[in-house]
Amino acid sequence: MKRNSLSDRYCPIARSGAQLVDGWTLIILRDLLFGPKKFRDLEEQTGMSPRSLTLRLNALVEDDIIAKVKGEETGKRHAYKLTEKGRDLWPVIMTLKHWGERWNGPWVDDEAPVKTSHKGHEFHVEVSCSCCHEPVDMFSIESEMSKPLREDMEHMAKLYAERLKK
Amino acid sequence: MKRNSLSDRYCPIARSGAQLVDGWTLIILRDLLFGPKKFRDLEEQTGMSPRSLTLRLNALVEDDIIAKVKGEETGKRHAYKLTEKGRDLWPVIMTLKHWGERWNGPWVDDEAPVKTSHKGHEFHVEVSCSCCHEPVDMFSIESEMSKPLREDMEHMAKLYAERLKK
């Protein structure tokens, strides 16, 4: 049953997970945030094998997260660049960067590998409310499930009950 | 050479990618954000096979992102809950949720599967500057690579040059 795959769940995190998340895919996106890159530049900086890199680039193109471009700036070889959908991943990658800085060191002199500044001051990203712009965290918000999501969860519960019977 | 693996790169995104990113892992974390869960609850709601779920739970425990707990609230069976490091992933998951809502629909009536509210108003997360709290995007910030990161990149370039010679 295809229904049981991530891309069919009624959940933006599940569907995004299906399209995106793989450690190697993330570092490709990280590199493309700094501008279009040729295959060999990505190969060099990620350390991936050509086969492994090709697989992930093709999947990203298929999901419209990156696009192949040809142009004067890239010479004869084509390059890969982020689409609007891909650029829109910036907040995800930046929050992951900050998490990694905090938890996955050590870093030499406790300095972030890439320092970011905004209007001249050093900063890291934090998440805030799109409505009142105050910082938010998991304890300051409320969540409410929509009806189609509840139905999706009931469906999963039913599938599970059937699996247990077998 | 182990050096060529994600967890050894001088980059918080690469190291976090190595620890974390796998679509199924993300939905486990999503479910644990709502509180501790027993194995069978996770099995039901994620739709994963016991083997696949066990593999990912063990990896998350090893990386100190979740912990096994025993207690009155969970009955005789143990449960899994987020550690501080795990809870700190909330901004990553929320920015991914918002990206998925925007790009990975359709959603019934164009409504987010889970609506979030903050002090009574509906919102989604946006990223802002930890220093001045203004919203930030990829065009409003500057990045500067640290010396150890530049060295890591030079090392990757050298490895690549050696691979090309073979």
Range in B7-16, B58-67, B121-130 with the lowest mean pLDDT = B7-16
Minimal Cα–Cα distance from A117 to chain B, Å? 5
What is the phi/psi pair of residue B4, to 5°? -80, 10
Nearest to A104 among B19, B34, B140 (CB): B19
Nearest to A114 among B122, B132, B149 (CB): B149
Task: Give B89's contacts in chain A (Cβ within 8 Å).
Answer: 99
Query: Strand A141-145 to strand B142-145: parallel, antiparallel, or no bridges (unpaired)?
Result: unpaired
d(CA B102, CA B107): 10
- pLDDT band at residue A141 under the 50/70/90 scheme: very high
Q: Which residue of chain B comes nearest to A127, CA vs CA?
A: B127
Minimal Cα–Cα distance from B55 to chain A, Å? 16
pLDDT reported for residue A3? 40
Q: Which residue, among B7, B127, B134, would best test binding to A if mutated, counting the most A CBs under 10 Å from its CB?
A: B127
pLDDT reported for residue B73? 61
| Residue B1 reports pLDDT greater than 60 | no
pLDDT reported for residue B3? 40
d(CA A115, CA B131): 14
Nearest to B16 among A4, A100, A134 (CB): A100
How does the average pLDDT of chain A come out, rounded? 87
Cβ-count burial of A114 within 10 angstroms (0-12 exposed, 13-18 middle, 19+ buried)? middle
Range in A14-18, A60-64, A111-115, B106-110 with the lowest mean pLDDT = A14-18
Pick from A93, A143, A33, A46: which is nearest to B4 by CA?
A46
Task: Give B17's contacts in chain A (Cβ within 8 Å).
Answer: 22-24, 26-27, 96
d(CA B67, CA B54): 13
Distance of alpha carbon A88 from the chain centroid: 9
Can you state the angle between helices B23-32 and B50-62, rounded to 10 degrees? Answer: 70
pLDDT reported for residue A75? 63
- pLDDT band at residue A73 under the 50/70/90 scheme: low
Beta-strand runs (E) in A2-62: 37-38
What are the strands of the beta sheet with B142-145, ordered from one edge? A121-123, A114-118, B142-145
Cα torsion through A74, A79, A84, A88, rounded to 10: -110
Asked if B47 lies within 8 A of A159 by C-beta distance, the reply is yes
Asked if A27 lies within 8 A of B15 by C-beta distance, the reply is no
Asked if A21 lies within 8 A of B19 by C-beta distance, the reply is no
Q: What is the DSSP letter of A8?
A: G
Nearest to B13 among A87, A93, A142 (CB): A93
Task: Give A149's contacts in chain B (Cβ within 8 Å).
Answer: 113-114
Q: Are B108 and A90 in contact (CB under 8 A)?
A: no
pLDDT reported for residue B58? 92
d(CA B96, CA B101): 8
Over the stretch B57-106, which tens digit does the pLDDT of each residue have?
Answer: 998 998 999 999 986 665 677 899 999 999 999 999 999 899 989 998 88
Asked if A116 lies within 8 A of B142 by C-beta distance, the reply is yes
Is the entire prediction scored with pTM above 0.90?
Answer: no
Neighbours of B51 (CB within 10 A): 8
- Return the amino acid letter for A12: P
pLDDT reported for residue B81? 94
Q: How far is CA A20 from CA A1, B39, B41, B90, in A?
A: 22, 25, 25, 18
